[in-house]
Amino acid sequence: MNLTMIPWGNAYYNTSACGKAGGYDRGATLTCWREKCGPNSTNVPSDCFTAKELCQHNYRTPECTADRREGCVTHYYPDPKQWLPFVVCYEAKGQLSKYNAEVCAKQANFDFDKIEACTTGALGQQITLMNAKRTLAYTGGWEGTPTVTVGNKNFAGNVDGLVKSICEQYTGTTKPAACSKQYFE
């Protein structure tokens, strides 16, 4: 199974063509940014990827920093078997603090200093830009965050449907235990 995580979600750059004062707008401003800055756009605003970055939950948590940190983690530790335990630990209970990241990095045997240098430096900015562009290039429908796609089917909060879809499309010789009938009764 190929598992990819793109830590960007419903963030956007608050461009001069779409932006508005007053903070994050999941409605018209986000939609405008996606339409004007996406891969099939024409007359792309010059500040599509240089304007102020706004994240959906920054009123509650430092989400933009957390997304950048997770981008750095997946950059340095690209195998999902490595980064997934970190992300599960880090995202648990909404504790997206630097302290929690350090605790989770230690549990995963990651080099936290390297992750933080990336998070606060030019490499983290490059990774964030790449994740913004990868998100805009996504052709499936947004179901929210996270948006999970298996084959061509999206899932948002429907774990049973997600597991069932993975099991249906699994091509290995021995299906995972989660695919046994008992999970769907």
Residue 164 is given by DSSP the state: H
Q: Which helix (H) or strand (E) holds 50?
A: none
Contact 118, 65 (CB under 8 A): no
| Structure token pair of residue 88 | 């599960």
How much of the chain exceeds pLDDT 90, in percent? Answer: 49
Confidence at residue 146, expressed as pLDDT on a 0 to 100 scale: 67
Q: How far apart are CA 107 and CA 101, in angstroms?
A: 10
Q: How far apart are CA 77 and CA 137, in angstroms?
A: 23
Contact 89, 103 (CB under 8 A): yes
- Report pLDDT digits (tens) over 30-53: 999 999 999 989 889 999 999 999
Beta-bridge partner residues of 150? 153
Q: Confidence band (pLDDT; 50, 70, 90) for 25?
A: confident
Q: Which candidate, 24, 125, 1, 106, places its Cα nearest to that of 65?
A: 125
Look at residue 177 and tell me whether its pLDDT is greater than 60.
yes
Looking at 4-8, 68-72, 178-182, which range is the least confident one? 178-182
What integer is the mean pLDDT of 156-166? 65
Q: Where are the alpha helices (DSSP H) in 5-111?
A: 28-37, 63-76, 80-91, 98-107
* Mean of all residue pLDDT scores within the chain: 85
Confidence at residue 156, expressed as pLDDT on a 0 to 100 scale: 61
Look at residue 185 and tell me whether its pLDDT is greater than 50.
no
Confidence at residue 149, expressed as pLDDT on a 0 to 100 scale: 73
- Report pLDDT digits (tens) over 50-79: 999 998 876 556 889 999 999 999 999 999
Look at residue 80 and tell me whether its pLDDT is greater than 50.
yes
Q: Confidence band (pLDDT; 50, 70, 90) for 21?
A: confident
